[in-house]
Amino acid sequence: MADTLTLGAPGIYLDPQRAVPALAAVRLDVCAFAGVAPRGPVRVPKLPETWSGDTPSVSLPLRRRSVAVAVESFAEYRRIFGGFEGPGRLPFAVAAFFEQGGRRAYVVRIVHDYGVGDPRNSGGVASGLLTGATATAGPLLLSARGEGNWGNGVRAALGFTTAAVTFESAAAGSILFAAGSGVPAGTLLRCTLPGGAAALRFVAEARREDRPDGPGSRVRAVLDLPLPDVPIAAEVVEGVLAVDDGAGLIERHSGLGLSSLHPRWMATVLCNESGLVEPDPVWVDGDVIPDDARRLPREPLLPGGDPPQMTGGVDRWADIVPEDFFDPEWEMGSDEPGDGVYAIVLLEDVASLAVPDLYEPGPLVPIDRPPVETSLAGGTFAPCVELPPPDPDGDGTVSPPELTGLLRDPRDPADLEEITGLQERLAVLADRLARFIVLLDVPPGIGHRQVLRWRPRFNTSWAAAYHPWLLVSRPDDGRDALIRINPSAVAAGILARQEIAFGVPQGPANVIAAGVLDVDERISPARHDELHPAGINVFLRERDGVRLTAARTLSRDPAWRQLSVRRLMLLLRLTLLRQMQWTVFEPNGPSLRADLRNQLRVFLGRLFRAGAFRGASEEEAFFVRCDADVNPPALADRGELVVLIGVAPAEPLEFLVLRLLREADGTLTVEG
């Protein structure tokens, strides 16, 4: 860890002192969401260790069903995963998170797993043919990146640019360029022949040669096919691909190579850079040749009208079942993430998890569709035509397909038992990993006594429960009704906002929820008196809005009942685990121990001054021991070092007790 010492002329130099890095608290405001979305990445190719960046990943046979995608605004979420047109509550949950003040989230889109080897795993994806060029290895097909009906609106067009390039000499089978001319292997050249004819040739090999008449080098481009004559001019031809999803998102990929030998091969660029389309495996190992060498350059003109360019995209929401949120094949200690919620297990910055579509307590209300006046009036008389109804429901609304595979009624005892079992699996995962806290929703619609019977099924500080569900109405949603959303999503945003503003020691509660209009169920003071000691965090409707009144975990251990305490200890654990790696291979002696004590005391001292610990002084709030007593010679001989850290976490104030006194003369005083 010593600073670099710069040596000059022979002499005596002072060795700089050891620079011990300061500890900085990790962020715990990031929440992960798993649910149902109209679009977004799924079944992403698994890249083996031997994969290189110039190999199109679409040709790989192994695919990961679920992938976690980071978003830092709801606008970014909508661009990747779509809006409110689907049947799930995921968009409402993510929108509520950012509306409360959250700044970063991970989103996992859930789709159904049809089983290993089932061809339906690759179904539901729209595909279409690119025109204006021919692929030597097969049809020039593109596929939407991710299944769903959204892909049927994607349009793509291929254009070409040309740039003149000078050469030193040429022959029918090769052309000699100056070094740095930018003609690598895989480049497509349009060669002009004597008489004005044009011919397209790929550079099969670019060999660097030394100049025979002096220093320097040049590049000999060996053509894939000999020309009928010696060219008199040459141009580099590159592709330009424009893609429009039909919903406002447009991509433009330029400087594309048209051969699999090219360092910027079009198939590879689409695999690595496009969020809308990917190449079909049939042509990723070939070449792409423009149909007409004379009509170059040519701008990519997006097709329009009917029939659509891409077809075959299908929303298969009804097939999703609760088991799709889990991955029974994933094992603890695996180097790869799993599917479902297990897609987040290796993400270091995720501190909480919410699963808004784990089950469907009831379908969303239909989407209102403005009436469209249809007129067949014209300048000539014609037979009357009977128009179809304006919409399938006949009432100006559009009902999205239901999540029938996720539909569970909490009021049904069998369904409630299944729901509780699913939530227990999430809590067990969080408890095993000890890296994030799962935020659970008390099932809606059940009675007060059922809630109190639901609560004892959990005993972990790595889970927190919220009740009741909340009602929102969004101006960017097409529904003219209040929507019931998961309280855990709002709690996740409040948790993030409180940490960003005040730090982890601040309890994430006693906050008015932004954008929430009402609670789905009013909780009376008597019921609240029972729910709070049970560790259920309640949202209450008050005069100034809907307030989150508590921040407790589902642990029965009083030491871990406060969410702020669990998060504080998680912060200490992750900070030390990630930022103490510099100690590895350091000399294990008194100097290292002193550095560790100083570093840890400074870090804990900052937390003490921020109100994280109890005590009137640092000595009462925490201790750090790293000396010969806890590190005997036998331990040091084995290369081990022990540091004992003790802290006294501060618990948030929950109760204010006031005493009303009546004096003998009738005077009333309040003490507290």
Residue 386 in this model has a pLDDT that exceeds 80 = no
* Residue with the two structure tokens 């020309």: 227
Asked if residue 424 belongs to a domain, the reply is: yes
> Which of 81-95, 333-347, 468-482 bottoms out in mean pLDDT, i.e. has the lowest?
468-482
Q: What average pLDDT does range 599-618 have in this prediction?
A: 90
pLDDT tops 90 at residue 537: yes
CATH of residue 95: 3.40.50.11780
pLDDT at 655 over 60: no
Residue 18 lies in a domain: no
For 14, the 3-state DSSP assignment is coil
Kindly state whether residues 278 and 366 are assigned to the same domain: no
Percent of the chain predicted with pLDDT > 70: 89
Q: 211 and 142: one domain?
A: yes
Say yes or no to pLDDT of 372 above 60. no
Residue range of the domain that includes 83: 26-121+314-579
Q: Is residue 243 part of a domain?
A: yes
Confidence class of residue 1 from pLDDT cuts 50, 70 and 90? very low
Residue 112 lies in a domain: yes
Decide if pLDDT at 2 tops 50. no
Question: What pLDDT shows up at residue 595?
Answer: 87
Same domain, 173 and 320: no
Last residue of a domain, one of 544, 579, 614: 579
Strands of the sheet containing 483-485, edge to edge, are 483-485, 470-472, 516-519
Mark whether 74 and 88 lie in a shared domain: yes
Give the mean model confidence (pLDDT) for residues 442-463.
96
Nearest by Cα to 252 from 286, 276, 288: 276
Whether 13 is covered by a domain: the verdict is: no
Confidence at 395, pLDDT banded by 50, 70, 90 = low
Domain boundary among 280, 296, 311: 311
237 plus 330 within the same structural domain: no
Percent of the chain whose predicted confidence (pLDDT) is above 90 = 63
> Has residue 543 got a pLDDT over 80?
yes
Is the pLDDT at 665 greater than 80, yes or no?
no
Of 290, 311, 332, which closes a domain?
311
Contacts for 441 with CB less than 8 Å, ≥ 6 apart: 356, 465, 466, 467, 469, 486, 487, 488
- List, for residues 336-361, the tens digit of each pLDDT value: 999 999 999 999 999 999 999 999 99
Question: Are both 428 and 492 inside the same structural domain?
Answer: yes
pLDDT above 60 for 587: yes
Are residues 142 and 110 located together in one domain of the fold? no
Residue from 288, 312, 286, 23 nearest 132 by CA:
288
Quick check: is 21 in a domain? no
> Distance between CA 465 and CA 457 in Å, rounded?
12
Q: Which of 642, 610, 605 is nearest to 22 (CA)?
A: 605
User: In this structure, is residue 16 part of a structural domain?
Assistant: no
Task: State the pTM of this model.
Answer: 0.86
Say if residue 344 is in the same domain as residue 214: no
Same domain, 470 and 405: yes
Identify whether 1 is part of a domain.
Answer: no
Are 212 and 328 found together in one domain?
A: no
pLDDT confidence bin for 659, thresholds 50/70/90: low
Residue 480 has pLDDT above 50, yes or no: yes
User: Which pairs count as long-range contacts for 569-573, CB under 8 Å and 24+ apart, including other chains?
Assistant: 569/647, 569/649, 570/28, 570/351, 570/434, 570/435, 570/437, 571/25, 571/26, 571/28, 571/504, 572/645, 572/647, 573/434
Looking at the structure, tell me whether residues 243 and 304 fall in a common domain: yes
Q: Grade residue 29 by pLDDT with cuts at 50, 70 and 90.
A: very high
Question: In the chain, how many domains are there?
Answer: 3
The per-residue pLDDT for 15 is 62
Whole-angstrom Cα distance, residue 637 to residue 263? 52
Mean of the pLDDT values across residues 290-319?
90
- Please indicate, yes or no, whether residues 457 and 605 belong to a single structural domain of this protein: no
Distance CA 514, CA 102 (A): 12
Report which residue type is found at 553.
T
What pLDDT is stored for residue 213 in this prediction?
77
Query: pLDDT digit string (tens) for 135-177?
Result: 998 899 999 999 999 999 999 999 999 999 999 999 999 999 9
Side by side, the strands of the sheet bearing 105-109 are 68-71, 105-109, 30-35, 350-354, 437-441, 463-467, 536-542, 545-548, 511-512
- The more confident residue out of 649 and 584 is 649
Helix (H) / strand (E) element for 161: namely strand 155-164
- Residue 151 has what pLDDT? 95
3-state helix, strand, coil in the chain (%, to 5): 25, 25, 50
The mean-pLDDT minimum among 161-175, 295-309, 556-570 falls in: 295-309
Q: What confidence category does residue 662 fall into, taking pLDDT thresholds of 50, 70 and 90?
A: low
Per the prediction, the chain carries an average pLDDT of 88
